[in-house]
């Protein structure tokens, strides 16, 4: 049994069908990536998993438990944290308060403190700016904060939506070094990333999405040498 399983989900925005029978799985400790063009349904898939969107068919299972209808707050409580596309930090709150809000369901003050220090060790720039309003941070710093805030929930599954979007190459390298570190520590990650080459070099498995459907699923190594994937997403 996979840690996270998505089984045949359909999603509509009004009369427009955004997802068609999407199925995927993520094993404990894996990094799995979704790749595809803009509008393929990748973000909608993550939003459905995290309870922000209700599917009209199919289900989302976490550790064998159906969480499809729980809603976002209860999904977080079950162990799924989402660092969304566009960061969505709380701009009028400090870096520290944003991180504390990531841990709002947790009770152990000592564990929260320990995890915050871990976030600061992974992202030293956040430590330097912990008293600064999040809205005054650079785009890269806000991305660090969004990932750090999700980490503060101690999730069973971390959903990352376009963590490199709009960042300089140096900051992209920093973000993916942290993703690699989290993976080595055993964090289970489902990743959407515009840079398909970077995503497939980070993940162990991948799914290719087109117009709301999964059209290919394989190991990352096999997808990297797939002629269709290379032409469509790797520019090779």
Q: Give the pTM.
A: 0.92
The answer as to CATH 3.40.50.300 being correct for domain 4-234 is: yes
| Tens-digit pLDDT profile for residues 197-232 | 999 999 999 999 999 999 999 999 999 999 999 988
Q: How confident is the model at residue 19 (pLDDT cuts 50, 70, 90)?
A: very high
What are the b/e assignments for 82-101, b being 16+ CB within 10 Å?
bbbbebebeeeebbbebbbe
Residues 6 or more apart in contact with residue 162 via CB below 8 angstroms? 43, 85, 192, 193, 194
Q: Are 196 and 234 in contact (CB under 8 A)?
A: yes
Exposed / middle / buried, residue 109 (Cβ in 10 Å: 0-12, 13-18, 19+): exposed
pLDDT tens digits for 100-122?
999 988 888 889 999 999 999 99
- What is the pLDDT, as a whole number, of residue 34? 97
pLDDT at res. 118: 93
The residues pairing with 19 across neighbouring beta strands, listed in sequence order, are: 11
What is the structure's pLDDT at 85?
A: 84
Residue 236 pLDDT > 80, yes or no?
A: no
User: Contact 8/22 with Cβ under 8 angstroms?
Assistant: yes
pLDDT greater than 80 at residue 140: yes
pLDDT in tens, 21-40: 999 999 999 999 999 999 99
pLDDT at 33: 98
- Asked if 26 and 188 count as a contact pair (C-beta separation under 8 A), the reply is yes
Residue 68 has pLDDT above 80, yes or no: yes
Separation CA 137–CA 126 (nearest Å): 9
Domain map of the chain by residue range?
A: 4-234
- Percent of the residues in the chain that have a pLDDT greater than 90, as a whole number: 85
| Mean pLDDT value across residues 132-156 | 93
Average model confidence (pLDDT) across the chain: 94
């Amino acid at each position: 049994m996979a840690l996270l399983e998505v089984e045949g989900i359909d999603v509509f925005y009004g009369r427009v069908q955004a997802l068609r029978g999407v199925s995927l799985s993520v094993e404990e400790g894996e990094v799995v990536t979704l790749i595809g063009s803009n509008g393929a349904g990748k973000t909608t898939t993550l939003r459905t998993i995290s309870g922000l969107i209700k599917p009209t068919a199919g289900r989302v299972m976490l550790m064998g438990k159906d969480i499809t209808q729980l809603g976002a707050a209860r999904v977080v409580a079950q162990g799924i944290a989402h660092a969304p596309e566009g960061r969505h930090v709380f701009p009028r709150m400090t870096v520290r308060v944003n991180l504390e809000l990531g841990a709002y369901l947790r009770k152990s003050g000592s564990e929260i403190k320990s995890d915050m220090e871990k976030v600061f060790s992974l992202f030293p720039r956040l430590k330097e700016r912990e008293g600064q309003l999040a809205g005054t941070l650079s785009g890269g710093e806000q991305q660090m904060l969004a990932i750090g805030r999700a980490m503060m929930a101690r999730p069973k599954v971390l959903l990352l939506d376009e963590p490199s979007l709009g960042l300089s190459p140096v900051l992209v390298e920093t973000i993916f070094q942290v993703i690699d570190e989290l993976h080595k520590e055993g964090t289970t990650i489902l990743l959407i990333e515009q840079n398909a080459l970077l995503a497939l070099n980070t993940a162990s498995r991948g799914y290719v999405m087109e117009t709301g459907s999964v059209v290919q699923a394989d190991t990352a190594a096999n997808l990297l040498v797939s002629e269709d994937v290379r032409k469509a997403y790797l520019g090779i």
